[in-house]
Amino acid sequence: MDEVVLDDPDAIRGRTIVEESREAVVVLDEQDIVLLASRRARQAIEGLGEGVPLPAGVLSGEQGLVPLVVPYEAGGRRERLVYLSREGDLTAYEELRSGFTAAVSHELRTPLARLLSLLETATLPGEDVHALVELARGEVEQVRELIDEVLFISELESGARVVALGPVPVRPELESVIEDLAERAIRAGVTVRVEGDPDIDLPLRPRMLRVIAQNLAENAIRYAGPGATFTLAVERVDGGVVVRGLDDGVGVSEAELTRLFERFFRADTARASRGTGLGLAIVKHVVTQSGGTVEARGGQGRGLEIRCIYPGA
């Protein structure tokens, strides 16, 4: 097997593209020896490694994986690029995309209907046109926020947004977000603060750290209720790093905790809010794409804690 020249910029670029692919991708030579494999492929296929034969049954579909083989030539050698997916993945994706499109359409209808009603009311004699225009402006902002967040999630899923980088100090980014949201928190009657070791780093782009922090904080400002205190913190736990948002507000029922990261889901206590229902879904996307996991704790009347966990960070 010919070795890849690691100081060749094209080779480095190609290796990085395969390695960081969100798909299960394998590059094979003519003898089915693995030349390159993505991280996801190595996780999905036991015994997969570079420089050794592809495990039996992968190309035949016997391991429950559906192969898509793309043959090509490189430097006079015949190689194959193999994409592997689980049976039913495409169907599940299409169902998810269809459901997401329907949900976006539904969420857009409400502010647009309110906007149309306000504009129609403004044409009636004796109405306070200035006040109605201000209300209409708020509805337009709601639509803009929804569209921005839908596009952001789409970019995360497509890989257009690079999440990981690093290492980046966490606490300065948390403090920056809390400073920016201080006025909104005061209007909502929620006290906000930051805690944690200023020397803790995470392999995240600063922009993505702020996305996590902002959505955690905005969730508490919108839903915790007047008089609540929200703490945005970073700490080391069991050899890893945890970024958490904790409030002592109204909380949600335990049955709803597992659904908080679903797109457009709003707990019963948040139904009247103007939020998009995408904030915590965005948090989950960013955290999982950067190697972490998320979890929610709390209960009705017991506040809410969202934990972003990076093991071994």
Residue 270 predicted with pLDDT over 50:
no
Q: What does the pLDDT read at residue 207?
A: 79
- Domain boundaries of the chain, sorted by first residue: 9-86, 90-158, 164-310
Lowest mean pLDDT among 88-102, 109-123, 142-156: 88-102
202, two tokens: 């995470």
DSSP for 216-246?
A: HHHHHHHHS-TT-EEEEEEEEETTEEEEEEE
The residue among 195 and 106 whose pLDDT is bigger is 195
Q: 9-86: what CATH class?
A: alpha beta
Residue 96 pLDDT: 47
Q: What is the mean pLDDT of residues 287-299?
A: 86
Look at residue 101 and tell me whether its pLDDT is greater than 70: no
CB environment 246-278: b (16+ within 10 A), e (fewer): bbbbbbbeeebbeebbebbebbebbeeeebbbb
Collapse the DSSP code of 161 into the 3-class scheme (helix H, G, I; strand E, B; otherwise coil) and give the result.
coil
What value does the mean pLDDT take over residues 285-310? 87
Query: Which run of H or of E encompasses 71?
Result: strand 65-74
Burial of 234 (0-12, 13-18, 19+ CB in 10 A): buried
> Which CATH code of 1.10.287.130, 3.40.50.300, 2.60.40.1180, 3.30.565.10 fits the domain covering 90-158?
1.10.287.130
* pLDDT score at 304: 93
Percent residues over pLDDT 70 in the chain: 76
The CATH class that applies to domain 164-310 reads: alpha beta
DSSP string covering 166-222:
EEEESHHHHHHHHHHHHHHHHHHT-EEEEEE-TT-EEEE-HHHHHHHHHHHHHHHHH
The whole-model pTM stands at 0.53
Q: Which of 29-43, 76-90, 259-273 has the least mean pLDDT?
A: 259-273
In sequence order, what are the beta bridge partners of 247? 230, 304
Per-residue pLDDT of 210-249, as tens digits, reads 888 988 999 999 889 999 999 999 999 888 999 999 999 9
